[in-house]
């Protein structure tokens, strides 16, 4: 009988210890000071830091006025119908079209565009087939008659139901995608 | 008899009339159906990018548009032909309602469809004139089924327990009565217990046994203590609740959206960033509600109301679906970080994702099947090192490695190299 009680105690203790494991809480750390950064971590909340918090209490900040991000160039066309028409008519691709840039463009197209526009640019991506997005035009749609300038403009600002992809692609990458889209357009019948 | 005849003739006439009616109505329906089906195909291919039937999108909602225009504005189908074929020209001509619509929809220019025939447009209008289908009542059967299944298994379990209890009781009773009989008959001798040293004392007196068991106990204790200390600071299986329920199963699994679509900085930076909410809105501007099937599955299987979660996204971004614009004050979402390396380790996503070409799933597990993300890998140093020992360096198309690859090939006389051979086990690679 005594041994039964002992076994019970051991099992109870084991149960107590395992039941303390909570999946929604992180495990405890040995020396937390060595785990936590003194410098700001990405996305960190910076409330009440000794050097004075930011206004938004976030580490992620909007760049200061008049500065541009690395890999970015200022873009002079406005996000309006007039800006679109102007870009469509006059904006030209500044980087040469090479095998390499097309390969890069294809890779980026596969990540950012193909899910809606389809691997061939015919508007039949996964989301279109699953009817999440409808009416995605083909790249060779005569009513739209896209040009390199208009493609770049739309990646930059988005149009109608397509959102802006400017923060996922830098200037050069956008032009690489434009090159690949033009290639798909020429291949469509 | 006459009466019967009379009735017969009436029923015949009625029958013929019914048949005639049916024939006409079916043909009429068939024509209508064909028009609606053709209209639906045209609508989905050309209009649905900007128009929905029942809610505002880039352009206005289009259900019953013809009737609405006729009643409110006194515009006929001719006006719609003109508008659809070339809306810009109509706006420029100074048409009052055309200009009003243009202004109301944030001056978005509607694509011109000069190639549409009158019939095409008629078909599309026939489709938009369809009444709104009444949503089918949500079936509760799946929930009932599972509940029923749970109930029946419970019943079976209880029945089994009762059965075994009865069996044990029966055996005990049989044993007892048999024993009684045996005692009464005098065939059973109840032995007098011989005084023997207790087991415990015998154990203590045997020194060899004591030493062996002490060694085993200590080894066991060391094993458990080691395991206990080694899991300190390891968050494998960590699965926090996020402020907005985001299902990787639906996005990356069912819809096959590339991981890097949202986590775009994994390509180019140390961090695989949490996407800012504008990336969510790239799709969810258009998708304000999940389909009925998905919603039902979410509620019954995962206990999540997906539509409410999308609403949380709209609250956070300040998006108003009715106005199709960001009108409210945005509120940042406090996501809970899951994968977190200590400050004394440097890890760079772009090196692994872009240069080495490692799949996200290698370290993060089958993310596309996770409804709620959990930490798949232990993220310990041993785990890193093992992978560096086993993985071949990806030299292909990487000019940076060309020279060293040639040199290493000459030196060791092999074609491929594990990352470990290229210094991936050096302390300073990750700790500095």
Taking Cα atoms as reference points, which of B286, B30, B377, B382 lies closest to residue A158? Answer: B286
CB contact (8 A) between residue A115 and residue B256 = yes
pLDDT of res. A122: 87
The domain locations on chain A are 29-62, 81-187
Reply yes or no on whether the pLDDT at A74 is more than 70. Answer: yes
Reply yes or no on whether the pLDDT at B172 is more than 90. Answer: yes
The ipTM is 0.84
Reply yes or no on whether the pLDDT at B129 is more than 90. Answer: no
CA dist., res. B420 & res. B424, Å (int): 5
Instruction: Kindly state the DSSP code that residue B356 receives in the 8-state scheme.
Output: S
Helix (H) or strand (E) holding B383: helix B381-390
| Range with lowest mean pLDDT among A123-137, B12-26, B379-393 | B12-26
CA dist., res. B128 & res. B431, Å (int): 64
Helix (H) or strand (E) holding B209: helix B207-230
> Which residue, among B343, B370, B376, would best test binding to A if mutated, counting the most A CBs under 10 Å from its CB?
B343
Mean per-residue pLDDT over chain A, rounded: 82
Nearest-CB residue to B44 (from A35, A112, A134): A134
B64 phi, psi to nearest 5 deg: 65, 30
Reply yes or no on whether the pLDDT at B1 is more than 50. Answer: no
Reply yes or no on whether the pLDDT at B231 is more than 50. Answer: yes
pLDDT of res. B189: 61
Provide CATH code, domain A81-187.
1.10.760.10
Mean pLDDT on B258-269: 91
A-proximal residues of B, 184-243, CB under 8 Å: 231-235, 237-241
pLDDT of res. B180: 86
Instruction: Kindly state the DSSP code that residue B368 receives in the 8-state scheme.
Output: G
pLDDT band (50, 70, 90) for residue B174: very high
pLDDT band (50, 70, 90) for residue B141: very low
C-alpha count within 13 angstroms, C-beta hemisphere, residue B128: 26
pLDDT of res. B263: 93
pLDDT of res. B149: 46
As a three-state string, the secondary structure of B25-59 is HHHHHHHHHHHHHHHHHHHHHHHCCCCCCCCCCCC
pLDDT of res. B166: 94
pLDDT band (50, 70, 90) for residue B3: very low
As a three-state string, the secondary structure of chain A is CHHHHHHHHHHHHHHHHHHCCCCCCCCCCCCHHHHCCCCCCCCCECCCCCCCCCCCCECCCCCCCCCCCCCCCCCCCCCCHHHHHHHHHHCCCCCCCCHHHHHHHHHHHHHHCHHHHCCCCCCCCHHHHCCCCCCCCCCCCCCCCCCHHHHHHHHHHCECCECCCCCCCCHHHHHHHHHHHHHHHHHCC
Give Dmax (Cα) for chain B: 123
As a three-state string, the secondary structure of B296-336 is HHHHHHHCCCHHHHHHHHHHHHCEECCCCEECCCCCCCCCC
Mean pLDDT on B75-96: 80
CB B169 within 8 A of CB B162: no
CB A116 within 8 A of CB A127: yes
pLDDT of res. B148: 43
Helix (H, G, I), strand (E, B) or coil at B373: coil
Each residue of A3-16: pLDDT tens digit? 667 777 776 666 55
CA dist., res. B388 & res. B365, Å (int): 18
Each residue of B185-228: pLDDT tens digit? 876 665 555 667 788 888 888 899 999 999 999 999 999 999 99
pTM over 0.90: no
The domain locations on chain B are 2-128, 143-189, 197-232, 381-432
pLDDT of res. A15: 59
pLDDT band (50, 70, 90) for residue B161: very high
Reply yes or no on whether the pLDDT at B18 is more than 60. Answer: no
Each residue of B298-344: pLDDT tens digit? 998 888 999 999 999 999 999 988 888 888 888 888 889 899 888 88
> Which residue, among B42, B242, B282, would best test binding to A if mutated, counting the most A CBs under 10 Å from its CB?
B282
CA dist., res. A8 & res. A26, Å (int): 30
A162 phi, psi to nearest 5 deg: -90, 130
**C-alpha angle B374-B380-B382 in degrees, rounded to nearest 5:** 135
B332: chain A residues, CB-CB within 8 Å: 56, 58
B2-128: which CATH number, 1.20.1280.260, 1.10.760.10, 3.40.50.2300, 1.10.3720.10? 1.10.760.10
Taking Cα atoms as reference points, which of A186, A189, A77 lies closest to residue A178? Answer: A186
Contact with chain A for residue B374, Cβ under 8 A: yes
């Amino acid at each position: 009988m005594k041994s039964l009680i002992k076994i019970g105690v051991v099992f109870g203790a084991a149960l107590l210890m395992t039941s303390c494991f909570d999946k929604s809480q992180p495990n405890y750390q040995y020396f937390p000071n060595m785990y936590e950064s003194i410098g700001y971590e990405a996305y960190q909340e910076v409330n009440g830091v000794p050097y004075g918090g930011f206004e938004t209490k976030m580490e992620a900040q909007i760049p200061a006025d008049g500065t541009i991000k690395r890999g970015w160039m200022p873009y002079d066309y406005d996000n309006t119908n007039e800006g679109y028409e102007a870009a469509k008519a006059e904006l030209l691709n500044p980087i040469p079209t090479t095998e390499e840039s097309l390969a890069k463009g294809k890779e980026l197209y596969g990540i950012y565009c193909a899910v809606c526009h389809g691997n061939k640019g015919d508007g039949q991506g996964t989301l279109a087939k699953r009817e999440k997005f409808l009416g995605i035009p083909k790249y060779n749609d005569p009513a739209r008659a896209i040009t390199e300038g208009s493609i770049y403009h739309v990646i930059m600002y988005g149009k109608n139901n397509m959102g802006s992809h400017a923060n996922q692609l830098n200037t050069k990458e956008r032009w690489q995608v434009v090159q690949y889209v033009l290639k798909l357009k020429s291949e469509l019948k | 008899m006459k009466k019967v005849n009379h009735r017969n003739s009436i029923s015949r006439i009625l029958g013929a009339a019914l048949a005639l009616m049916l024939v006409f109505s079916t043909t009429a329906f068939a024509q209508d159906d064909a028009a609606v089906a053709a209209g639906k195909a045209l609508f989905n291919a050309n209009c649905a990018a900007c128009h929905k039937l029942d809610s505002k999108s880039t352009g206005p909602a289009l259900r019953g548009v013809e009737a609405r225009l006729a009643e409110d504005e006194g515009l006929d189908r001719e006006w719609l032909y003109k508008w659809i074929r070339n809306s810009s020209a109509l706006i420029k001509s100074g048409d009052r309602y055309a200009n009003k619509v243009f202004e109301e929809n944030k001056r978005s220019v509607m694509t011109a469809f000069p190639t549409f025939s009158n019939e095409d447009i008629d078909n599309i209008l026939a489709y938009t004139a369809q009444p709104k289908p009444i949503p089918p009542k949500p079936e509760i059967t799946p929930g009932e089924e599972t509940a029923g299944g749970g109930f029946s298994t419970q019943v079976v379990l209880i029945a089994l327990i009762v059965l075994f209890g009865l069996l044990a009781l029966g055996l005990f009773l049989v044993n007892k009565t048999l024993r009684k009989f045996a005692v009464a008959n005098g065939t059973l001798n109840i032995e007098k217990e011989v005084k023997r040293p207790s087991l415990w004392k015998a154990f203590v007196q045997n020194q060899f046994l004591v030493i062996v068991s002490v060694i085993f106990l200590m080894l066991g204790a060391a094993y458990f203590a080691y395991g206990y200390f080694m899991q300190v600071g390891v968050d494998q299986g960590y699965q926090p609740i996020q402020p907005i329920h985001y299902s990787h199963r639906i996005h990356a699994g069912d819809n096959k959206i590339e991981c890097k679509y949202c986590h775009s900085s994994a390509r180019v930076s140390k961090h695989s960033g949490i996407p800012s909410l504008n990336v969510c809105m790239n799709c969810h501007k258009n998708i304000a509600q999940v389909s009925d099937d998905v919603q039902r599955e979410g509620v019954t299987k995962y206990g999540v109301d997906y539509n409410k979660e999308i609403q949380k996204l709209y609250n956070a971004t300040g998006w108003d679906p009715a106005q199709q614009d960001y009108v409210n004050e945005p509120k940042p979402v406090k996501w809970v970080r899951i994968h977190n390396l200590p400050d004394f380790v440097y890890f760079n996503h772009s090196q692994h994702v872009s240069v080495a070409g490692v799949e996200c799933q290698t370290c993060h597990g089958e993310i596309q099947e996770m409804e709620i993300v959990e930490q798949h890998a232990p993220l310990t140093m041993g785990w890193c090192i093992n992978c560096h020992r086993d993985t071949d360096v990806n030299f292909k198309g990487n000019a940076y490695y060309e020279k060293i690859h040639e040199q290493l090939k000459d030196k060791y006389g092999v074609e491929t190299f594990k990352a470990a051979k290229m210094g991936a086990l050096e302390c300073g690679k990750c700790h500095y």
